[in-house]
C-alpha cells in the first residue's frame, strides 16, 4: 500500500480561485519525489493539504493508511507528527535558540504542559544535539536563530523535521531563498536523510535542473492540474514547456546542461 | 525655472492657509472654552515664580519627607502591581483578539470592542464609581487604574501579536503542536520584546495617573499633594511634585536601559 | 547512485563521537542539558519578569486594605456598574447642554494641543541632534524630560495658584505637558531624517530657515502630524480628567458633579457614553487623517 495517495483532490479558495483540480497520485515509502511548476501553480497548496494546514475542498487523501481529509483532532495531530515540513522562509522562532527550535519537532508528541513550558527529557535533548551535529551546526547550538545565515536556518529547519521522526518530509521550496552553494548543501542533506533514514521526501521546487538531479520521479503541476507524473528520464523538453507554459529558451538550455 | 517658482509659491500659499486655519481654530476654541490668552501668558511667569520660590523645600517640608516617601513607595508598588496583573490578563485576552490566534472572527470583534470600551471609559469615571463601593481604599486606585490599563494593554498586545510573523506559528502547526504549545513556544517568545516595552511604558504612565486618581479618591500620593496644596503648604506640595518627578525619571531611565538590552 | 553514496559518505564522515559533541553541550549543575540561548536579552527578560512579579507580590502583601469587606465591595461595584452602564439617563441637563459641555472639553483639548504643538515645533529644532548644538540639545532635553515627569494634573494645579481654577489653568497646564511630550516626539522625528538632505542643502549654502522650511518640515510632516493627533486624543481624555479633578469645566466637570456631588449614577452613565463615543470618533478621524497625510 502506498504511503501517501491523493484521490481526485480539488481545492478552491473563496469559492473562486481553483488552486487544485482533480489531483490524483500516490507515493511509495522511501521515494524522493520533486514537484515542479511555475509559481502559483498550486504546489504549496498541494503540500499543505497533506498535513491539513490547508483543507482540501473535495477528494480524499490517505496517508499511512489513514484518511487525512476526515481525520479529527487527535488523529490529525498524529498525522502531523508523522509528516514533517520544511519551509521556504525556514519558519523558525527567531528569538529562541537553535536547540529549542529543533526540540519543537517533539511538541506534537508531548503533553500540553511540558510542551508549553519547554520541558524536554534528557534523551530528547541528547538526540537534538546529535541531529544538530549531523547538520554541522553544533557550534551554533546555543545561538539565537536570528543570528544565523539563511543556509544555517534551513539546516535548523531540517533538524526540526528529523526530530519529529517523520515518515514523510514535505519540503515547500526549501532552497528558493538560498544562494547556490547553500542550496546544494540543503539538497544534499535531504537526499542523505532520504537514503540513510528511509524517510520519504516530497519536495516542491521551481528549479527544473535541481529536481532532475536529485529525484528519480517528478510531478509537474500547472494551474492546479498534474500534467506530468513519471521518471526523470521521461521529462522531455516539450513536457517542460507544457509545465511552464513558456517557450523560454533559457529554461531549456539550463536543463540540457544539467542532463 | 517657472515650475520651481510655482512650487515655492504654492508652498508659501499652503503655509499661509494652514497658519490662518490654525488662527481661526485657536480663536474659536478660545471663545468656547472661555480661555483668555492674556491670562494664560500672565499665569506663566507667576507659575515659574511659584516653582522658583517653592522648589527648595523648607525645614517643615523636610519633616514630611518620610510620610511622602512612604506614600510614594505605595504609589510605585501600586503602579507595578496594577500593570503586572493587567498585563497577565490582557495577554490571555488578547490571544482571542489577535488575527494569528483568534478562535473566530466574532469573538475577535467582541474582544476588540471590549478592549476599546475599557480603554476609553475615563479613569476618573472608574475612580468615582469605585469610591462608592470601596471608599478611600488602596483598592479603589488599583481597580480604577486596572480597567484602563487592561484595555490599553489588550490593544497593544493584539497589535504586537499581529506583527509576529505567521510563519513560525505555521511551522509549529505542522509539527502537531496544540494551541497552548503554539502560544508559549511560538507567539510569546516572538512578541516578548513588544510586550515588555508596553509593560514598562504603562508602569511609568500609571505612576502619573495614580496621582490624578489619588486626588479624586483621596488616597495615596495624590491625596497628600491635594492636602498640602489646599492648606497652602506649597513647600510640602512642591516636595511631593519633586519626589514624583524623581521616581518617574528613575523608572524612565531604568526602562530605557532594559529596552536597549532586550531589543 | 555513485554520486549519492559519495554524498552521504561526505556528510557522515564528520566527527560524530559523543565525546566530541559533549564539548558543545552546556549542562546545569545537576548535569541536565541546557537548551536556552546564551544571550543577554533572554537573561534580562527573565530577571525583569521575576522582579516585577516579586514587586507585585510585595505590593499585595503590604497594601493597607483597612479590613475592607471585599466581597461586598465587589458586589456593590457590580451593582453600580450596572446602574451606570445599563441605565444611563439624563436628569439635570438637556442633551444640548451636555453636547455643549462636550464641545468645551473638545476646545480645551484643541487649544492645549495647538499651542503645545507650535511651541514644541520651535523647541524641537533646538534639541534635534542633527540641527542644534550638543550642549543646547542636552539642556533642553533634560528640561523637557522633567516637565514630562510631572503629572498633568499637578501642572494644572500649579498654574491654578496664579490663574485660579478654571479653563486658563487647565489649558496652560495641559499645554505644558503636551509641549514636553511633543518636543521629544518631534525631535526624534527630525533625528530620524536622512542626513544627506540637510547636508546637501548646507553644501548649497542654504540658510537655517531655508533648511527648516525646505528640508525638515517636508520630510518630517507625516510623523509630526501623526504625533500631534495622538497627543490630541490624549489631551481630550486629559481635558475630561482635568474637568473632574481640577474644576476646569466642560463635560469632565459635569461628570465630577454627577458622580461626587449628586451621586447621580444614571447621569454619570450617559455622560460616560458620550465621552466614549466622542473618543472613538476622534480615534477614527485621526486614523483617517494620518492615512491621508501618508
Check whether residue B88 and residue B213 sit in a common domain.
Answer: yes
- One pLDDT digit (tens) per residue for chain B, 263 residues: 555 667 778 878 888 898 899 899 999 999 888 888 888 888 888 888 888 888 788 888 888 899 999 999 999 999 999 999 999 999 999 999 998 888 888 999 999 999 999 999 988 899 988 988 888 888 999 999 999 999 999 999 999 998 887 888 899 999 999 999 999 999 999 998 889 999 999 999 999 899 999 888 888 899 999 999 999 888 899 899 999 999 999 999 999 999 888 87
- Which of C6, C22, C37, C42 has the most A C-beta neighbours within 10 Å, making it the best mutation to test the interface with A? C37
Reduced to 3 states (helix: H, G, I; strand: E, B; else coil), residue A70 is coil
Kindly indicate the confidence band of residue A161, based on its pLDDT and cuts at 50, 70 and 90.
Answer: very high
List Cβ neighbours of C134 (8 Å cut-off, separation of 6 or more): none
Within 14-33 of C, beta carbons closer than 8 Å to A belong to 14, 16, 21, 24-26, 32-33
How crowded is residue B114: how many other Cβ atoms within 10 Å of its Cβ? 16
| CATH class of the structural domain A4-258 | alpha beta
Residues C246 and C160: their CA atoms lie apart, in Å, by: 9
According to the model, what pLDDT value does residue A101 have?
Answer: 95
Check whether residue B28 and residue B144 sit in a common domain.
Answer: no
Q: Is there a contact between A134 and C11 if contact means CB atoms under 8 Å apart? A: yes
Residue A74 class from Cβ within 10 Å (0-12 exposed, 13-18 middle, 19+ buried)?
exposed
Please say whether the dihedral angle defined by the alpha carbons of residues C247, C252, C256 and C262, taken in this order, is positive or negative: positive
- Assign residue C205 a region (left: φ > 0; alpha: ψ between -120 and 50; beta: otherwise): left
Cα–Cα nearest to C250, from C269, C234, C274, C228: C274
The pTM for the full model equals 0.84
Residue B126 near residue C237 (C-beta atoms within 8 A): no
Residues C116 and A133: their CA atoms lie apart, in Å, by: 61
Percent of chain A with pLDDT over 90: 77
Q: Is there a contact between B172 and A160 if contact means CB atoms under 8 Å apart? A: no
| A103–C contact, CB cutoff 8 A | yes
| A110–B contact, CB cutoff 8 A | yes
Residues A218 and A33: their CA atoms lie apart, in Å, by: 6
| Domains held by chain B: number | 2
Check whether residue B23 and residue B95 sit in a common domain.
Answer: no
| B80–C contact, CB cutoff 8 A | yes
According to the model, what pLDDT value does residue C199 have?
Answer: 83
Going across the sheet that includes A58-63, the strands are: A17-27, A4-13, A58-63, A66-67
Instruction: Inform me whether the pLDDT recorded for C50 exceeds 50.
Output: yes
- Assign residue B149 a region (left: φ > 0; alpha: ψ between -120 and 50; beta: otherwise): alpha
Check whether residue B50 and residue B75 sit in a common domain.
Answer: no
Q: Please give the full DSSP string across B157-169, using - where no structure is assigned.
A: HHHHHHHS-HHHH
| CATH class of the structural domain C88-293 | mainly alpha
Check whether residue B89 and residue B165 sit in a common domain.
Answer: yes
ipTM (interface predicted TM)? 0.86
pLDDT tens per residue across span A163-199:
999 999 999 999 998 999 999 999 999 999 999 999 9
Residues C77 and B254: their CA atoms lie apart, in Å, by: 36
According to the model, what pLDDT value does residue C9 have?
Answer: 40
According to the model, what pLDDT value does residue A259 have?
Answer: 37
How crowded is residue C134: how many other Cβ atoms within 10 Å of its Cβ? 8
Give the distance from CA C41 to its chain's centroid.
24
Q: Is there a contact between B170 and A160 if contact means CB atoms under 8 Å apart? A: no
Residue C87 near residue B16 (C-beta atoms within 8 A): no
Q: Could you give the angle at the alpha carbon of C174 between the alpha carbons of C171 and C180, nearest 5°? A: 135
Residue B98 near residue B161 (C-beta atoms within 8 A): yes
Check whether residue B91 and residue B202 sit in a common domain.
Answer: yes
According to the model, what pLDDT value does residue A50 have?
Answer: 94
Q: Is there a contact between A138 and C24 if contact means CB atoms under 8 Å apart? A: yes
Check whether residue B44 and residue B74 sit in a common domain.
Answer: no
Percent of chain C with pLDDT over 90: 35
Count of alpha carbons within 13 Å of C191, Cβ hemisphere only?
14
Q: Is there a contact between C21 and A188 if contact means CB atoms under 8 Å apart? A: no
Indicate the domain borders of chain C.
88-293
- Domain carrying residue B170: 59-262
pLDDT tens per residue across span C61-99:
988 888 888 888 889 899 988 888 888 888 877 888 889
**Mean pLDDT for the stretch of residues C195-202:** 84
- In this structure, of A33-42, C9-18, C74-83, the range with the lowest mean pLDDT score is C9-18
Q: Is there a contact between C76 and B248 if contact means CB atoms under 8 Å apart? A: no
Kindly indicate the confidence band of residue C13, based on its pLDDT and cuts at 50, 70 and 90.
Answer: very low
**Mean pLDDT for the stretch of residues C172-176:** 91
Residue B161 near residue B101 (C-beta atoms within 8 A): yes
Check whether residue B47 and residue B96 sit in a common domain.
Answer: no
CA distance to partner chain C, nearest, from residue B62 (Å):
20
Nearest CB among B175, B180, B190 relative to A112 is that of B180
Amino acid at each position: 500500500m502506498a504511503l501517501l495517495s491523493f484521490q481526485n483532490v480539488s481545492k478552491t479558495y473563496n469559492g473562486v480561485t481553483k488552486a487544485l483540480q482533480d489531483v490524483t497520485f500516490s507515493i511509495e515509502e522511501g521515494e524522493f519525489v520533486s514537484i515542479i511548476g511555475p509559481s502559483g501553480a498550486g504546489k504549496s497548496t498541494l503540500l499543505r493539504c497533506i498535513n491539513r494546514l490547508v483543507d482540501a475542498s473535495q477528494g480524499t487523501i490517505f496517508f499511512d493508511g489513514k484518511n487525512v481529509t476526515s481525520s479529527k483532532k487527535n488523529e490529525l495531530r498524529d498525522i502531523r507528527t508523522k509528516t514533517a515540513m520544511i519551509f521556504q522562509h525556514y519558519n523558525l522562532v527567531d528569538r529562541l535558540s537553535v536547540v529549542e527550535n529543533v526540540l519543537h519537532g517533539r511538541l506534537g508528541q508531548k503533553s500540553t504542559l511540558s510542551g508549553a513550558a519547554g520541558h524536554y527529557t534528557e534523551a530528547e535533548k541528547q538526540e537534538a544535539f546529535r541531529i544538530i551535529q549531523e547538520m554541522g551546526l553544533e557550534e551554533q547550538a546555543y545561538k539565537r536563530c536570528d543570528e544565523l545565515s539563511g543556509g544555517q536556518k534551513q539546516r535548523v529547519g531540517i533538524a526540526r523535521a528529523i526530530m519529529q521522526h517523520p515518515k514523510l518530509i514535505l519540503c515547500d521550496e526549501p532552497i528558493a531563498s538560498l544562494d547556490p552553494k547553500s542550496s546544494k548543501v540543503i539538497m544534499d542533506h535531504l537526499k542523505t536523510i532520504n537514503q540513510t533514514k528511509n524517510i520519504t521526501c516530497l519536495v516542491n521546487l521551481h528549479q527544473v535542473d535541481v529536481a532532475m538531479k536529485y529525484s528519480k520521479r517528478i510531478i509537474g503541476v500547472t494551474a492546479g492540474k498534474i500534467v506530468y507524473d513519471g521518471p526523470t528520464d521521461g521529462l522531455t523538453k516539450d513536457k517542460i514547456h507544457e509545465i511552464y507554459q513558456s517557450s523560454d529558451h533559457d529554461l531549456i538550455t539550463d536543463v540540457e546542461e544539467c542532463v | 525655472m517657472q515650475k520651481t517658482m510655482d512650487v515655492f509659491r504654492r508652498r508659501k500659499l499652503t503655509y499661509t492657509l494652514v497658519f490662518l486655519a490654525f488662527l481661526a481654530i485657536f480663536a474659536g476654541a478660545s471663545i468656547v472654552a472661555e480661555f483668555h490668552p492674556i491670562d494664560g501668558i500672565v499665569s506663566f511667569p507667576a507659575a515659574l515664580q511659584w516653582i522658583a520660590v517653592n522648589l527648595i523645600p523648607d525645614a517643615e517640608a523636610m519633616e514630611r519627607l518620610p510620610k511622602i516617601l512612604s506614600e510614594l513607595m505605595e504609589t510605585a508598588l501600586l503602579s507595578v502591581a496594577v500593570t503586572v496583573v493587567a498585563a497577565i490578563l490582557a495577554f490571555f485576552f488578547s490571544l482571542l483578539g489577535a488575527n494569528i490566534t483568534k478562535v473566530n472572527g466574532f469573538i475577535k470583534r467582541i474582544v476588540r470592542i471590549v478592549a476599546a470600551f475599557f480603554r476609553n471609559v475615563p479613569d476618573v469615571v472608574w475612580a468615582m464609581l469605585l469610591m462608592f463601593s470601596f471608599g478611600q481604599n488602596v483598592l479603589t486606585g488599583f481597580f480604577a487604574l486596572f480597567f484602563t490599563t487592561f484595555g490599553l494593554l489588550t490593544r497593544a498586545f493584539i497589535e504586537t501579536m499581529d506583527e509576529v510573523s505567521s510563519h513560525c506559528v505555521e511551522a509549529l502547526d505542522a509539527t502537531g503542536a496544540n494551541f497552548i504549545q503554539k502560544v508559549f513556544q511560538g507567539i510569546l517568545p516572538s512578541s516578548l520584546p513588544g510586550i515588555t516595552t508596553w509593560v514598562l511604558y504603562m508602569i511609568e504612565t500609571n505612576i502619573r495617573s495614580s496621582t490624578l486618581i489619588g486626588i479624586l479618591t483621596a488616597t495615596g500620593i495624590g491625596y497628600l499633594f491635594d492636602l498640602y496644596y489646599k492648606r497652602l503648604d506649597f513647600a510640602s506640595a512642591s516636595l511631593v511634585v519633586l519626589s514624583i518627578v524623581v521616581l518617574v525619571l528613575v523608572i524612565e531611565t531604568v526602562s530605557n536601559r532594559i529596552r536597549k538590552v532586550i531589543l | 547512485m555513485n554520486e549519492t553514496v559519495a554524498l552521504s559518505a561526505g556528510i557522515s564522515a564528520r566527527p560524530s563521537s559523543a565525546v566530541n559533541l559533549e564539548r558543545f553541550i552546556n549542562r546545569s549543575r545537576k548535569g541536565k542539558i541546557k537548551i536556552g540561548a546564551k544571550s543577554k536579552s533572554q537573561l534580562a527578560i527573565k530577571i525583569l519578569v521575576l522582579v516585577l512579579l516579586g514587586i507585585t507580590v510585595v505590593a499585595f502583601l503590604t497594601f493597607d486594605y483597612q479590613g475592607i469587606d471585599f466581597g461586598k465591595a465587589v458586589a456593590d461595584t457590580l451593582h453600580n456598574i450596572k446602574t451606570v452602564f445599563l441605565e444611563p439617563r439624563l436628569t439635570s441637563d438637556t442633551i444640548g447642554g451636555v453636547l455643549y459641555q462636550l464641545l468645551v472639553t473638545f476646545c480645551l483639548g484643541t487649544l492645549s494641543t495647538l499651542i503645545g504643538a507650535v511651541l514644541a515645533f520651535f523647541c524641537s529644532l533646538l534639541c534635534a541632534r542633527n540641527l542644534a548644538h550638543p550642549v543646547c540639545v542636552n539642556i533642553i532635553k533634560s528640561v523637557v524630560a522633567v516637565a514630562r515627569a510631572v503629572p498633568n494634573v499637578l501642572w494644572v494645579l500649579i498654574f491654578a495658584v496664579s490663574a485660579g481654577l478654571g479653563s486658563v489653568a487647565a489649558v496652560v497646564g495641559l499645554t505644558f505637558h503636551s509641549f514636553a511630550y511633543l518636543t521629544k516626539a518631534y525631535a526624534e522625528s527630525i533625528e530620524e531624517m536622512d542626513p544627506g538632505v540637510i547636508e546637501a542643502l548646507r553644501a548649497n549654502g542654504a540658510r537655517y530657515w531655508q533648511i527648516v522650511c525646505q528640508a525638515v518640515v517636508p520630510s518630517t510632516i507625516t510623523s509630526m502630524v501623526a504625533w500631534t493627533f495622538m497627543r490630541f486624543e490624549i489631551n481630550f481624555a486629559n481635558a475630561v480628567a482635568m474637568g473632574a479633578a481640577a474644576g476646569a469645566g466642560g463635560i469632565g466637570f459635569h461628570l465630577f458633579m454627577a458622580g461626587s456631588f449628586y451621586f447621580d449614577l444614571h447621569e454619570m452613565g450617559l455622560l460616560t457614553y458620550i465621552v466614549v463615543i466622542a473618543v472613538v470618533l476622534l480615534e477614527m478621524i485621526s486614523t483617517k487623517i494620518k492615512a491621508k497625510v501618508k
